[in-house]
Structure 1
Amino acid sequence: MNLRGLLAGMVMLASAFAALAMKPTQYMAKQHPIDLQALIPEHLGDWAIEKAPTIAQINPEIQEKINRIYSQLVQRTYVNKTGQRIMLSIAYGGDQSDALRVHRPEVCYGAQGFSIGQQSMDHLKIGQTNLPVKRMIAVMGERVEPITYWMTVGEKVALTGWQHKMMQLSYGANRVVPDGMVFRVSAIGRDAEASFKYQEDFLSQLYTSLPSVSRSRIFGS
């Protein structure tokens, strides 16, 4: 019995040391810091930031919850020369471990009373990137808002919870705690096809405007 107890203790001790050795200790947010407000230009080709946006993006209560979750939040409205508007929202967190969960637009919009319909997965050719995205349409009363979004874990795009978890584990195997973000663009309009085309044009202009070294943080690698 003493020998068995000794062996069991040794196994438990070895497991504890192995768990400690595998614990992620390198934070991507510290190794490669990013300032999204400074990184995202105010002018993107034909698009320019609207200084006094006329479209409300999110209610204050939801805004407060998001501010507690994320370390950076960019919310802007851009307008082009023909008067088309694109709303941009980027929610960034420096720790994509289990302690920080991404705030999906389905949850955010649903909490504000929107009904969510016509959800689909798609791929957009943005610059040199074949970008996987999720598209959906949020509706509340007369407001119809086609939305395109994706999430990142480190420099990888994740659209599902399973993808998010697998990428998190992949970084963790290298003892890295990845950062991540939810990147969303949307527009107000009943013509969803036209809205999605404007969103794609906006994203292409953004890709071109970003420094090449920063593109993978936004669009994935």
Structure 2
Amino acid sequence: MFAGLAATASAGAIAFRRAQQEVPVGRGTILTHLPAQLGSWHLQAARADMIDPVVVDIAFSQALEMYDRVIERDYVSPVLPRIMLNIAYKREVRQEERFHWPEFCYATQGFHVKRLAPIALGPAGDNVTLTQFVGQREERRERVGYFMRIGNAVPSGSLAVRAALFRQSLAMHLPDGVMVRASFLEDDIAQGGATTPADLLARFFRELVQTASAPLGEILVNKHPKSI
């Protein structure tokens, strides 16, 4: 009996190691190939991957060390607010080493965080559901939205993330993952305009998901699924 269990465990360990090797090492570099145009927004030229937090505290520094790639870019428009896009990529996502929640990172930087209702992007947005909140510190009021891809799933909320990791661990998958976050300053919305902050956030994410083609779309939302 014990020999059988040992053989099963050994086979599981081999499969798990193979799963680790199925995500190419350079996959995160594809994230630098972002679309030049997203609707009314265009990608602002950047010298390199940018990490410029308001306050680099211990929690934020530890969060950055968790990721294999962090991309920060700005999308600008002559008529719409500047969008600050952040993408964090992990080649291996585990229950004990998941993504840091943006709400926590904002709170550690002195923002008062107010959670808001999630936004379902619908079929046009590959059925992504955005988590959104407002971070406010003094006069700065920032609208933030984000989603995660964990392996072949795009879960919404902590319980769904845990469940996605559990399901993939049962299948001996050690998935990679990505967190896509975008934000803008609410004061940048034109006064008296018909666009609400939530609508603007959803509009940007729909443009991003719809415009991203393979292999970028696969990394962001599993747009062209394959075995991981």
Q: Do they superpose with TM above 0.5?
A: yes
- Higher mean C-alpha displacement, 93-102 vs 18-27: 18-27
- The residue type equivalent to 1:203 in the other structure is F
Q: Do the aligned partners of 1:104 and 1:182 also contact (CA within 8 Å) in 2? A: no
Q: Distance in 1 between matches of 2:25 and 2:141?
A: 41
Quote how far apart the aligned CAs of 1:129 are. 1.7
Deviation at 1:180, TM superposition (A): 0.7
In the alignment, structure 1 residue 45 sits paired with structure 2 residue 69: no
* Cα distance in 2 between the residues matched to 1:205 and 1:160: 22
The residue correspondences of 1:169-180 to structure 2 (distance < 5 A) are 169-180=166-177
TM normalised by structure 2 equals 0.78
| Structural RMSD (CA) | 2.7
> Aligned residue for 1:79?
76
Task: Please tell me whether the aligned partners of residues 125 and 209 of structure 2 are also in contact (alpha carbons under 8 angstroms).
Answer: no
Structure 1 match to 2:99: 102
Q: Which runs of structure 2 are paired with 1:1-221 in the superposition (5 Å)?
A: 10-11=1-2, 13-23=3-13, 24-25=16-17, 26-27=19-20, 28-30=22-24, 33-51=27-45, 57-61=53-57, 63-125=60-122, 127=124, 129-189=126-186, 194-220=196-222
Q: Secondary structure at the match of 1:70?
A: coil
Report the residue type matching 1:80 in the other structure.
S
Q: Secondary structure at the match of 1:95?
A: coil
Q: Structure 1's 128 and 143: CA in aligned 2 closer, same or farther, altered over 3 A? A: closer
Alignment deviations for residues 145-199 of structure 1 (CA, whole Å, 9 cap, x no partner): 11111111013112222222221122223322101121111111157x6222222
Give the drift of 1:42: 3.4
User: AA paired with 1:45?
Assistant: G
CA distance in structure 2 between the partners assigned to 1:46 and 1:168 by the alignment: 36
Is this contact kept in 1: 2:28–2:68, CA < 8 A? no
The offset of 1:114, in angstroms, is 0.9
Structure 1 CA distance for aligned equivalents of residues 4 and 26 of structure 2:
33
Q: Distance in 2 between matches of 1:162 and 1:33?
A: 27
Which deviates more from structure 2 when the two are superposed, residues 23-32 or residues 76-85?
A: 23-32
Q: Which moved more, 1:98-107 or 1:38-47?
A: 38-47
Q: Which moved further from structure 2: 32-41 or 62-71?
A: 32-41
Please tell me the residue identity of whatever aligns with 1:33: R
Partner AA of 2:39 in structure 1? G
Larger CA Rg, structure 1 vs 2: 1
Hey, what does 1:7 align to over in structure 2?
none
Alignment identity in percent? 22
Match of 2:226 in 1: none
SS of corresponding position for 1:197: helix
1:48–1:57 Cα change, 3 Å: farther
Normalised to the residue count of structure 1, the TM-score between the two structures is 0.80
My pick for the range that moved more, 142-151 or 22-31, is 22-31
Contact 1:126 1:204 in 2 (8 A): no
Q: Distance in 2 between matches of 1:164 and 1:118?
A: 18
Alpha carbons of structure 1 residues 117 and 164: separation in structure 2 relative to 1, 3 Å? same
Count of aligned pairs between the two proteins: 208
